[in-house]
A and B are shown apart, each in its own frame.
Chain A
């Protein structure tokens, strides 16, 4: 698809330069470059703006939960420009580096985290169907997203180590232990929808749940229902959100791994954190909540489908994107809600939760879901309904790609 985008861009360029008497071939570099920058720009904005919004949301929700108002002044009524103002303040803040720090690692750590967080978005689709909204359509998308997000922990460890501060180091160690542990149940949870869909392609995964909410994997069977919550728990833990935010436990470790950071670098950690939140939420939404297919298939009901022409299809995709983002924001909101509701766990409790509860539960659910799926391959909504025709079509063996023969899906 990106090739199509690039070709279209080249077509445009060709028209533009045609005015100057030049021509641009269809497969020119320029189109690819522009497309790439376009994607990255869009994703960057998504992450940055969502971070802005989420921080504001967090403060407002926290305020409400704690019977406060939260920010009210900046930017008018709801203080909705508060985060921007904070950002400006951070930009102008002095950039401190502690004595004895490993400067190179210290400086690079926040960017590693942010890059990992942003990198995950490359493979996350925002709408599917014939022309999915995705920067890079990978057939191992789920895997890729998880893998890239796994790198994020690196920034925390590097930051903790390079700060030459024991608080930071403790925070980093905790983070390492926690994230590595939680990757196990998280992976198990993710495998279930993959198994159900028979693909690791996120676009495919999302499109397998098209139609009504009954087709969501959340409601596929009891096991998937349980496993979604396990997933959500683990996802919260893996992005270091409270109650699993041991790495920056203020009460014990000052500010954990980012104790020594200030200014722009510090804000990058936060961008990364909120970016990751959004990423895991998006992933959860795609895997379990039907992705861009709503509880009610508004788009198809309105006829916004590719069969009816590209414009309608595109509009339908836009609608799907809004749908997906809404679900993701909902999940983020839940995370914020949880944070301000539950107290922070101790590190041993965190690990206990992971290894003694989440992992066995996820494993059991995986077994259950597999059995269920084997018993009722074409049933959805706890086996009550027949899977829609379209979904079954997607699972046809004839659609299995012919490896290495240049076949395309």
Chain B
């Protein structure tokens, strides 16, 4: 258990700290997905989740935070880029689905989208 959280302002931060921020975003996203009834809220949750993941990728790739040979290098950033692009694509599709759903159900309440329930 190597905890070096002593004083955040005078010590350098590490990947772990970024990951905690990522975790917070991730969790908020999950909670958002789980609690919002508005489809767009769910979408925002997804965005938050992806962002949380991105933070991790960036942090692991950052040479500022880790020693030589320990970083993910440019791959982190590249993967983050792909995530961003895919997120944009996903957002577009989700919005389209939402619109479609709205057109058929007259609402964006995903609790009404339970036609396939068991």
Q: Are A and B close enough to touch in the complex, i.e. CB under 8 Å?
A: yes
Which chain A residues have a beta carbon within 8 Å of chain B's beta carbons? 403-404
Among residues 35 to 79 in chain B, which have CB atoms less than 8 Å away from a CB atom of chain A? 63, 73-74
Chain A to chain B contacts (Cβ below 8 Å), 4 pairs: A403-B74, A404-B63, A404-B73, A404-B74
Give how many A-B residue pairs fall within 8 Å (CB-CB).
4
Tier of interface size on chain B: under 10
Return the chain A residue nearest B63 by Cβ: A404
Q: Which residues of B contact A404 (CB under 8 A)?
A: 63, 73-74
A404 to B74, CA, bound (A): 9
A178 to B46, CA, bound (A): 26
Q: Which residues of A contact B63 (CB under 8 A)?
A: 404
Interface of A is mostly: loop
A205 to B38, CA, bound (A): 45
A403 to B73, CA, bound (A): 10
4 cross-chain pairs, A with B, having the tightest CB-CB distances, nearest first: A404-B63, A403-B74, A404-B73, A404-B74
B111 shortest CB reach to chain A, Å: 25
A298 to B63, CA, bound (A): 43
B31 shortest CB reach to chain A, Å: 22
A403 to B63, CA, bound (A): 10
Interface of B is mostly: loop
A6 to B63, CA, bound (A): 25
A404 to B76, CA, bound (A): 13
Return the chain A residue nearest B68 by Cβ: A404
B69 shortest CB reach to chain A, Å: 12
Q: Which residues of B contact A403 (CB under 8 A)?
A: 74
A404 to B73, CA, bound (A): 8
Among residues 65 to 115 in chain B, which have CB atoms less than 8 Å away from a CB atom of chain A? 73-74
A151 shortest CB reach to chain B, Å: 16
B9 shortest CB reach to chain A, Å: 12
Return the chain A residue nearest B71 by Cβ: A404
Q: Which residues of A contact B73 (CB under 8 A)?
A: 404
A355 shortest CB reach to chain B, Å: 16
A403 to B62, CA, bound (A): 12
B94 shortest CB reach to chain A, Å: 16
Return the chain B residue nearest A405 by Cβ: B63
Return the chain A residue nearest B74 by Cβ: A403
Return the chain A residue nearest B64 by Cβ: A404
Return the chain B residue nearest A404 by Cβ: B63
B71 shortest CB reach to chain A, Å: 8
Return the chain B residue nearest A403 by Cβ: B74
A403 to B75, CA, bound (A): 13
A5 to B107, CA, bound (A): 57
A285 shortest CB reach to chain B, Å: 30
A65 to B63, CA, bound (A): 58
A403 to B71, CA, bound (A): 13
Return the chain A residue nearest B73 by Cβ: A404
A403 to B76, CA, bound (A): 14
Return the chain B residue nearest A406 by Cβ: B63
A27 shortest CB reach to chain B, Å: 15
A135 to B63, CA, bound (A): 25
Q: Which residues of A contact B74 (CB under 8 A)?
A: 403-404
A357 shortest CB reach to chain B, Å: 23
A403 to B74, CA, bound (A): 9
B89 shortest CB reach to chain A, Å: 15
A316 shortest CB reach to chain B, Å: 35
A403 to B78, CA, bound (A): 14
Return the chain A residue nearest B62 by Cβ: A404
A404 to B70, CA, bound (A): 13
B14 shortest CB reach to chain A, Å: 18
B68 shortest CB reach to chain A, Å: 10
A404 to B72, CA, bound (A): 12
A404 to B63, CA, bound (A): 7
A170 to B74, CA, bound (A): 44
A211 shortest CB reach to chain B, Å: 35
A392 to B53, CA, bound (A): 41
A405 shortest CB reach to chain B, Å: 9
